[in-house]
Each structure stands twice: as C-alpha cells, then as structure tokens.
Amino acid sequence: MKNFDNYPKSIKKAVRYIKQDASKEELEEIFKLINSAIKLRRIKLE
C-alpha cells in the first residue's frame, strides 16, 4: 500500500474532513458514495 503522503491532495483533504468535521449524516452519505465508486472501479478492473 502507498504511503499516505503519495496520495492525491483531494484524498488527503477528504480524509481530513471525515476525521474532523463530518457529521453522522454526512459520514453515511460519504460512505455510500465512496463504497459505490470503489465497487464500480473494481468491476471495471476485472
């Protein structure tokens, strides 16, 4: 796995937002969005 510093700036900002500012409702929405994006990407890579 890559070192966290090697990921794009947008990923680092998203993780920081999740850790510091996201409400419970926002966390649920973010979880759904990221989960679906990962699933679609995995399907495309197979």
How confident is the model over 24-36, as a mean pLDDT?
97
Report the mean per-residue pLDDT for the chain: 93
Q: Residues 6 or more apart from 46 whose CB is under 8 A from it? A: none
Greatest extent of the chain over all pairs of C-alpha atoms, in Å:
35
Sign of CA dihedral 24, 13, 41, 1: negative
Backbone angles phi, psi at 8, to 5 degrees: -60, 155
Mean pLDDT of all residues in 41-45: 97
pTM of the shown model: 0.77
Mean pLDDT to the nearest integer, 18-32? 96
Whole-number pLDDT of residue 1:
58
**Which amino acid type is present at position 3?**
N
* Confidence band, pLDDT 50/70/90 cuts, at residue 2: low
Check pLDDT > 70 for residue 41: yes
Helix/strand/coil percentages in the chain, nearest 5: 80, 0, 20
